[in-house]
A and B are shown apart, each in its own frame.
Chain A
Amino acid sequence: MQQHCDVDELALMSLGEPIGDDCAAHVTTCEQCAAQLAEFKELVLVGRSSGGPDNLVAPPARVWDRISEQLATEPVPMVRPPAQQRRGLPRWAGLVAASAAGILVGGAVVAVTTGQDTPTSVVASAQLAPMPDGPDRGGIADATLNRTDAGYTVTVSASGLAGPEGFYEVWLLDPKDSGLIALGSLGPGEQKATFPVPDGIDLEVFSAVDISDEPLDGDPTHSTVTVLRGTLEA
Chain B
Amino acid sequence: MTQLDVAEVGRQLAAGDESALAEAYQRWSRLVYTVALRSVPSAADAEDVTQAVFISAWRSRDNFNPDAGNVPAWLLAITRRRVADFHRKRRDEVSLDHAPEAAEHSPDVSAQVAVADEIDELGEPARQIIRLAFFDDLTHQQIAEKLNMPLGTVKSHIRRSLQRLRTRLEVTHAAAL
Contact = CB atoms under 8 A, between A and B. Distances in A.
Judged by DSSP, the binding face of A is helix
A57 to B, nearest CB: 5
Nearest to B108: A46
B31 interface: yes
B116 A48 contact: no
B117 A74 contact: no
Which bucket holds chain A's interface residue count? 35 or more
A8 B157 CA distance: 9
Contact of A56 (B60, B116, B134): B116
A39 B166 contact: yes
Interface stretch (A12-20, A23-31, A137-145, A165-173): A12-20
B59 A47 contact: no
Contact of A59 (B50, B116, B139): B50
B65 interface: no
A49 B47 contact: no
A67 B135 contact: no
A63 B50 contact: yes
A42 B54 CA distance: 30
A64 B28 CA distance: 12
B162 A43 contact: yes
Contacts of A150: 16, 59, 61-62
B58 A58 contact: no
B51 A67 contact: yes
Interface in B92-112: 108, 111-112
A49 B18 contact: no
A149 B155 contact: no
A55 to B, nearest CB: 6
A11 interface: yes
Interface string B163-177: 001100100000000
A67 B55 contact: yes
Interface string A55-83: 11111101110110011001011010000
A15 to B, nearest CB: 5
B50 A71 contact: no
Interface residues of B, number: 49
A118 B59 contact: yes
Interface in B134-177: 134-135, 137, 139-140, 155-156, 158-159, 162, 165-166, 169
A55 B18 CA distance: 29
B120 interface: yes
A218 interface: no
B66 to A, nearest CB: 16
B124 to A, nearest CB: 13
B56 interface: yes
A52 B169 contact: no
B119 A44 contact: no
A94 interface: no
Given A57-B37, A58-B33, A150-B62, A63 B47 contact: yes
Given A17-B139, A40-B166, A47-B165, A8 B159 contact: yes
A76 to B, nearest CB: 6
A150 B137 CA distance: 49
Contacts of B55: 67, 70-71, 117
Given A67-B55, A117-B60, 6 more contacts: A8-B155, A12-B155, A50-B116, A52-B116, A55-B34, A59-B30
Interface of A: 7-8, 10-12, 14-17, 39-40, 42-44, 46-53, 55-60, 62-64, 66-67, 70-71, 74, 76-77, 79, 116-118, 149-151
The 7 A-B pairs at the shortest CB distance, nearest first, are namely: A53-B120, A50-B112, A59-B33, A50-B116, A11-B159, A56-B30, A117-B59
